[in-house]
Chains A and B, each alone.
Chain A
Amino acid sequence: MSTLHIKSARLIDPANHQDVVTDIVIEAGVISAIGTIPDEVQAEQTIDAEGLWLLPGLVDLSVYLREPGQENKATIAHEMQVAVQSGITTVCAMPELASSIDSSERINLIRDKAQVAKNAAQVEVIGALTAGLKGEQLSNMGSLKKSGCVAVTQGLAPFSNTNLLRNCMDYAATNELKLFYQPIEHSLLGDGCAHQGAIATRLGLPAISPSVETTAMAQMLTLVEDTHTAVHFCRLSCAKSVELLAIAKDKGLPVSADVAVHQLFLTDMDIADFNTLCNTLPPLRSSRDRDALRQGVADGVIDAICSDHQPHDIDAKLAPFQQSSSGISALETLLPLTLRLVEEGVLTLAQAIATVTHKPAEIIAKPKGSLGVGQAADFVLFNPDKSCDISLQSLQSKGKNSPFLGWWFSGGVEIVVIAGDVVYH
């Protein structure tokens, strides 16, 4: 096995409270030494990383792979290479109705596709909570667990009734699978497609009130109290949800939460011209909600930031707003936007890195997202002095549906290493 010597990098490892300029040595895919390296160490490969940041590889809690079933939108091999180029070394694949991950065959298929791909991110699989995500019957969670699922979720799909939801919680806990819950009260959602408020009213778009999220959240928090099962809340969008979550955490309930990075930047103002690129679910909310979400991340109430990558073919967005598909192609903007929160004074650098590395890794209970001796060498060398823009030409994902086209970001990924192998340079 090869050895790799990184010289004079600024190691930023929030999990171990490290922010120092140092050397590190990687042997057999694992970090073997950090600090001043004795001269006698002869690495097969040496990278002079002076002026570069060495960050843990990003762990993205929500990526829609689209494969199998929707290869017109994206393919696993390609998107996982794009993830690596964007500094993401581990992604969690979300099940969806068109490609529901509800059997070990499906999981193996996804794994095979990801493993065959060269220079690709590692895929962790989140299984379907109900058979076919239809919301009617428990999925085979026992075999999902054996096949290596890190969690189970109903994603954006509805449950037929609350009794089933409660049983799902108990059965998932039986199989030691964490429940990822996206709080949406579907009977309140209706045909809504935009945040309830002056803008949706002016545009004549069916509205989605904050209570679509908060009633589902309040109900789930009650069930958590009742069943003592751990629940991770996905993609929060409202100020009120942050408040509910903070209260639950104060009570000591076993809950965590994430937010999609676009919710920390965009608001319903961005759909004011029927811009379908800003059609998301949950919808872009008010600036007050956005600010509360930012504060929630800063306070640690919201644990993690994810991309919620949803690549689409361009036709899916070339339609009247209500008919267009929701979702943003977001792998390539996860790290730049998260770091922009530092520039804007919302988070410290350590906080920002933590929300996309060891904190999401803790949620899926994987020893990733940190860079201690003995840990897997998944990391990113990041050049803070570069700058890059997001354009149709620069976007590598098969999904070109990004509302951040034309945005400039400082910094850029230079080198990515997974398990000691340089997978992007």
Chain B
Amino acid sequence: MINDNSQHLTPGALPSSMQLTRDGQLKHFLNIEGLPPLLLEEILDRAEQFLDLPNKAQNKAPVLRGKTVMNLFFENSTRTRTTFELAAQRLTADVVTLDIRNSATSKGESLLDTIRNLSAMNCDMFVVRHQHSGAAHFIARYCPPHISVLNAGDGYHEHPTQAMLDMLTIRQHKKAFPPLKVGIVGDILHSRVARSQIHALTTLCTGEVRVIAPRTLIPVGIEQMGVNVYTNMEQGLDDLDVIIMLRLQKERMHGGLLPSEREYFSLYGLTEERVKLAKPDAIVMHPGPVNRGVEIDSRVADGSQSVILEQVSNGIAVRMAVMTMVMSGQAKESL
């Protein structure tokens, strides 16, 4: 592709303000941080409309007819990729999924070159997952302006659609956010999901947000994101309305951050006894896939307070909502 504008290729700041159009509509969806509460609520409202479509598996909403969505997965994912594919298909877009891990970049092609090549294929939306923080911002900054970028997880930074489907799940069960106490348990240090959840919860004025983990898994300065830090599981669970468990990656044992899965479960695993420390009507969430017996007991994962499967179905609706919003933001921007 020929460089139409050499200034386009200047390195510099990648401000997240670029995810909004001049009139405040969503153009890209890169991070939750800094988005206004009304916009988050609009995403939830739209997602609920998609959930209410009768016979939703068959009926399609032809909102993205003629549009092409390209899933760019630089990092392994099954669930997120599938829900993005389904969301795009239900909106009648053409969907292409590229597993880039094993192709271009491993041959030494830079991310910039990969993006420029793919941009030339005339698509309208990139769904990006990448192992490095800020990769989605980078792609949004350096791809042609008619392409919208949805962040499906960048490094340890953000995973905004996951956080929004979690917010939808909470809203379905708890109505309003201000009275709620929400605890996020697990590997906060390496979790983009936790960061997006924290931003979403604080933006929606949640009463209290806690992070619960051993100190080896809590990043320095997390309090400044508006959370209370607990290293004791029992104290952290006390009086919660929502318990969000995070997935524990096995490689944390090798990095010297934790001694063993067994010890982790004994200290931080969510058991039936520990659930009782929270409010009686507390809900239990998990972004999946669940490590049974590592971070959560099977009886809790499958128990009456678990809403884990609802999260999965909400995932498709939230991604449909975000896709329609960025496409209408994009249409207005190009007028």
Contact = CB atoms under 8 A, between A and B. Distances in A.
Interface stretch (A82-90, A316-324, A365-373): A316-324
A207 B133 contact: no
Closest 3 A-B residue pairs measured CB to CB? A204-B157, A204-B156, A198-B221
A277 B156 contact: no
A392 interface: yes
Identify which of A203, A274, A314 gathers the most chain B CB atoms within 10 Å of its CB.
Answer: A274
Nearest to A272: B13
Interface residues of A, number: 30
A401 interface: yes
A315 interface: yes
Contact of A205 (B133, B137, B158): B133
Interface in B214-232: 219-222, 224-225
Interface of A: 196-207, 209, 273-277, 314-315, 317-324, 392, 401
B115 to A, nearest CB: 11
Contacts of A206: 156
A204 B220 contact: no
Contacts, number: 98
A327 B133 CA distance: 19
A407 B157 CA distance: 30
A277 B142 CA distance: 16
Contacts of A198: 220-222, 224-225
B319 interface: no
A314 B9 CA distance: 8
A318 B110 contact: yes
B134 A318 contact: no
A202 B33 contact: yes
Identify which of A209, A318, A320 gathers the most chain B CB atoms within 10 Å of its CB.
Answer: A320
A318 B3 CA distance: 15
A197 B158 contact: no
Given A207-B219, A319-B111, A320-B134, A273 B15 contact: yes
A321 B134 contact: yes
Given A321-B132, A321-B133, A274 B14 contact: yes
Interface residues of B, number: 33
Contacts of A320: 111, 130, 132-135, 138, 154-155
Nearest to B111: A319
A202 B156 CA distance: 9
B59 interface: no
A340 B268 CA distance: 53
B210 to A, nearest CB: 16
16 contacts: A197-B220, A198-B225, A201-B219, A202-B33, A202-B221, A204-B154, A204-B156, A204-B158, A273-B16, A274-B133, A274-B137, A320-B130, A320-B133, A320-B135, A320-B155, A323-B111
Contact of B138 (A314, A319, A392, A401): A319
B11 interface: yes
Contacts of B157: 203-205
Contacts of A322: 132-134, 155
Given A201-B219, A209-B220, A318 B155 contact: no
Contacts of B138: 274, 319-320
A157 B7 CA distance: 34
Given A198-B225, A203-B133, 19 more contacts: A201-B219, A201-B220, A201-B222, A201-B224, A202-B225, A204-B154, A205-B134, A205-B156, A205-B157, A207-B219, A274-B137, A275-B11, A275-B12, A275-B13, A320-B133, A320-B138, A322-B132, A392-B10, A401-B11
